[in-house]
Amino acid sequence: MPEQLTLSIDAMGGDNAPDMVIEGIQVALTMKPDLQFLLFGDEAKLAPCLERYPQAAKACVVHHTADVITNEAKVAHALRSGRNSSMRLAIDAVGKDEAHGIVSAGNTGALMAMAKFVLKTIPGINRPAISGYFPTLRGRSIMLDLGANVECDAKNLVQFAVMGEVFARIALNVKNPSVGILNVGVEDLKGHQSVKDAANILQTTDLPIKFHGFVEGDDIAKGTVDVIVTDGFTGNIALKTAEGTAKMFGSFLKTTLTSSPLAMLGALFAKSALNKFKERVDPRSYNGAMMLGLNGVCVKSHGGTDAIGFANAINVTVSLINNSINEAIKEDYARVSFDQAETDQQVDPK
Amino acid sequence: MPEQLTLSIDAMGGDNAPDMVIEGIQVALTMKPDLQFLLFGDEAKLAPCLERYPQAAKACVVHHTADVITNEAKVAHALRSGRNSSMRLAIDAVGKDEAHGIVSAGNTGALMAMAKFVLKTIPGINRPAISGYFPTLRGRSIMLDLGANVECDAKNLVQFAVMGEVFARIALNVKNPSVGILNVGVEDLKGHQSVKDAANILQTTDLPIKFHGFVEGDDIAKGTVDVIVTDGFTGNIALKTAEGTAKMFGSFLKTTLTSSPLAMLGALFAKSALNKFKERVDPRSYNGAMMLGLNGVCVKSHGGTDAIGFANAINVTVSLINNSINEAIKEDYARVSFDQAETDQQVDPK
């Protein structure tokens, strides 16, 4: 555990950046007052925000750059022309060991591509994956990949399982997390060849992983397993489908509780209970997705979050650094039976 | 529109069959008293139910069979050994023109496989798809495929778009339904080759379809489009993820509103409004998924539904028959530009 943690921050990423970012730093400092920040962004825009949040200002060293990666920027363009962007310079600081980790609420695709280019993947890991939280009936689970890799073969999925298990141990604080592969049925015969092969490897290899087998879409919210492994196409759609359904429910509920004077009175009586309900499903408390599999801790905050959500992403980052997540992944991954993984690659050479 | 509608019913399919099925028929008859039913199942088990629901008994002709396809049955086994099962005989009745359509709450995979074997696909349609409802902020949308085809190429997706558009016109009663393809982003560059090729065909062909382009997971609940087209793997996971999230929300809300005397009092005041909320998200009102693309109307009811849900599945079936869904699909599909579809197949020959 490093004595003095320094985080590198893309101050220009996110819908309400840089104000939201700097207020988020101030919120994070109330919990962890010793944190230091390298702040990358447009000095002219940062200065008034830093004046508004003096505690944050004290903990930040500003590195000026006028370049920004927009949400609309294509990944190839960001890689080619974004060398002086706030996002890229923030990643570079981790690559140069000037910061212990980086947080950005900017363009996800660009962040993943630039982080991969600068930090490189952990030896043996073919593709990094985006790993994030889901609320469940039991508490919370994590899922990966949430969108970095549209196509995944069995070997990728096995690597996601190893990385996700380590992430869950740290981020969920679960001793022996259970891991499941997302599928359209729980029987061995169902699904794509890649999920069948990955399940086979996880069942037969001597990895220290509590492998549950296949899980279905409704197992996500049930909390059947701690870690849900899937390809980035399916994971992204599951994440956004769940987010959309949750928002729809929230909207229906709001309409319901304001639909009549009696309903409004009822909502008033139930206010304290309803506030707890809101907290339980507050997306801000699930903020902070890690780009797993890189030589460095790179955390993506939701672009639309506020200061509290951004502070949560900072907290996740600190916890991952303090628990040496990448060392733990390397240790576990060394135990994967490569013979089986190679065999698999011949079976499913996508 | 046939003068006298006869539906063929798999009386043994579903968690609470045959009681739920026969009560469901009775409920359906209160709305459509002229319906006739061919009831396939175990006479000894059906007799006491028919006694309990005398209105249903009057509208049913019982065809005895002791064979049942269980939920656990493998598709291949069902096809091979299920020739005298209640499900198969109910499908056969449609194949022999003895019934206008069939409803079953049994094993989905077996129902699809047997229906495809008996009824065959509509000329030109390579694969049938399961099409069902999602509640949305705007009302309801339909999605296909919900699980019949784990792998889909661009041509399959285009066929789903054509069939889904016709389904939405009838089942949602929308004049000119909009159609979107589910993807991990709305930009043309994102996603699998199959979704990109399918979008290209739908954009360039002269089909009478209001093609919206790509939609993401959160667009489902937003109701961005009336018809969401996707492969059966992704669709099944999206459906079950949404169902699981909805159940979790319902469970959280229940806990919330019983968590304190004050909350319970509040819930009492808001009772009438909360009941409307419950109705709005009641899965029973979204029951009834059609196996689209077959020469016949074959509707799958949720296995865990009750009589009201089963009655809704019957209503959907009646509406599809009365509006000659398959004739409309054939008519529209004749306008698909096959040249483009063929080109696509060479690009993506999965």
The reported pLDDT for the residue numbered A199 is: 94
Contact B223, B136 (CB under 8 A): yes
Residue of B239, B260, B269, B282 to mutate when probing chain A, most A C-beta within 10 A: B269
pLDDT over 90 (residue B184): yes
Of B255, B74, B288, the residue nearest B167 (C-alpha): B288
Residue of A74, A136, A157, A237 to mutate when probing chain B, most B C-beta within 10 A: A237
A163-175 pLDDT tens trace? 999 999 999 999 9
State both tokens at A166. Answer: 């380590």
- Inter-chain CB proximity B150 and A192 less than 8 Å: yes
Count of alpha carbons within 13 Å of A5, Cβ hemisphere only? 22
Tell me the three state secondary structure of residue B63.
strand
pLDDT in tens, chain A (350 residues): 556 899 999 999 999 999 999 999 999 999 999 999 999 999 999 999 999 999 999 999 999 999 999 999 999 999 999 999 999 999 999 999 999 999 999 999 999 999 999 999 999 898 999 999 999 999 999 999 999 999 999 999 999 999 999 999 999 999 999 999 999 988 777 889 999 999 999 998 877 889 999 999 999 999 999 999 999 999 999 999 999 999 998 899 999 889 889 899 988 888 888 888 888 888 888 888 999 999 999 999 999 999 999 999 999 999 999 999 999 999 888 877 545 444 444 333 33
Q: Nearest Cβ partner of A269 from B137, B251, B269?
A: B269
DSSP 8-state code for residue A149: -
Chain B: residue nearest A281 by CA? B249
**Residue A252: its chain B contacts at CB < 8 A?**
277, 280-281
The reported pLDDT for the residue numbered B130 is: 95
Distance (Å) from the C-alpha of residue A232 to the closest C-alpha of chain B?
A: 9
**Residue B143: its chain A contacts at CB < 8 A?**
none
Q: Nearest Cβ partner of B150 from A182, A191, A274?
A: A191
Strands (DSSP E) found in A87-220: 101-104, 129-136, 139-144, 178-182, 210-215
Question: What are the beta bridge partners of residue B104?
Answer: B10, B300
**E strand or H helix at B104, and its extent?**
strand B101-104
The reported pLDDT for the residue numbered A6 is: 97
- Inter-chain CB proximity A263 and B272 less than 8 Å: yes
The tokens 């968690």 sit on which residue? B15
Contact A30, A58 (CB under 8 A): no
- Inter-chain CB proximity B244 and A182 less than 8 Å: no
B54-69 pLDDT tens trace? 999 999 999 999 999 9
**Residue A243: its chain B contacts at CB < 8 A?**
217-218
B132-158 pLDDT tens trace? 999 999 999 999 999 999 999 999 999
- Inter-chain CB proximity B270 and A267 less than 8 Å: yes
Please give the distance of CA B244 from its chain centroid, rounded to a whole number.
18
- Inter-chain CB proximity B238 and A237 less than 8 Å: yes
The reported pLDDT for the residue numbered A337 is: 59
- Inter-chain CB proximity A220 and B135 less than 8 Å: no
Pairing type for strands A289-292 and A129-136 reads antiparallel
Chain A: residue nearest B245 by CA? A221
pTM above the 0.80 mark? Answer: yes
**Residue A273: its chain B contacts at CB < 8 A?**
256-257, 259-260, 262-263, 266
CB pairs under 8 A between A and B: 200
- Inter-chain CB proximity B150 and A182 less than 8 Å: no
- Inter-chain CB proximity A150 and B243 less than 8 Å: no
B276-322 pLDDT tens trace? 888 888 888 888 899 999 999 999 999 999 999 999 999 999 999 99
- Inter-chain CB proximity B266 and A267 less than 8 Å: yes
In one letter, which amino acid is B112?
M
pLDDT over 90 percentage in chain B: 76
State both tokens at B289. Answer: 């998924």
pLDDT over 70 percentage in chain B: 95
Tell me the three state secondary structure of residue B5.
coil
Tell me the three state secondary structure of residue A226.
coil
- Inter-chain CB proximity B263 and A246 less than 8 Å: no
Q: Nearest Cβ partner of B217 from A232, A241, A253?
A: A241
The reported pLDDT for the residue numbered A273 is: 87
**E strand or H helix at B299, and its extent?**
strand B297-300
List C-alpha distances in Å: B319 to A124, B17, B124, B225, B314.
56, 24, 24, 22, 9
Strands (DSSP E) found in A71-115: 101-104
Can you tell me the distance from the alpha carbon of A159 to that of A142, in angstroms, rounded to the nearest whole number? 15
Max CA distance (Å), chain B: 68
Chain B: residue nearest A272 by CA? B263
- Inter-chain CB proximity A233 and B266 less than 8 Å: no
Chain A: residue nearest B108 by CA? A185
Mean pLDDT of the region B42-50: 96
Strands (DSSP E) found in chain A: 6-10, 36-41, 60-64, 101-104, 129-136, 139-144, 178-182, 210-215, 227-229, 289-292, 297-300
The tokens 């979790």 sit on which residue? B248
Distance (Å) from the C-alpha of residue A240 to the closest C-alpha of chain B?
A: 4
- Inter-chain CB proximity B266 and A271 less than 8 Å: yes
3-state helix, strand, coil in chain B (%, to 5): 50, 15, 30
Distance (Å) from the C-alpha of residue B219 to the closest C-alpha of chain A?
A: 7
Chain B: residue nearest A244 by CA? B218
Residue of B150, B249, B260 to mutate when probing chain A, most A C-beta within 10 A: B249
pLDDT over 70 percentage in chain A: 95
Chain A: residue nearest B270 by CA? A263
- Inter-chain CB proximity B252 and A221 less than 8 Å: no
Strands (DSSP E) found in B183-261: 210-215, 227-229
pLDDT over 70 (residue B343): no
Q: Mind listing the domains of chain A with CATH numbers?
A: 1-119 (3.40.718.10), 124-290+325-350 (3.40.718.10)
The reported pLDDT for the residue numbered B2 is: 57
Of A75, A16, A12, the residue nearest A43 (C-alpha): A12
- Inter-chain CB proximity A277 and B252 less than 8 Å: yes
Sheet with B101-104: strands ordered across: B60-64, B36-41, B6-10, B101-104, B297-300, B289-292, B129-136, B139-144, B227-229, B178-182, B210-215
The reported pLDDT for the residue numbered A344 is: 42
B208-218 pLDDT tens trace? 889 999 999 99
CA angle A297, A300, A302 (to 5 degrees): 160
- Inter-chain CB proximity B248 and A222 less than 8 Å: yes
**E strand or H helix at B292, and its extent?**
strand B289-292
CB atoms under 10 Å from CB of A47, counted, come to: 12
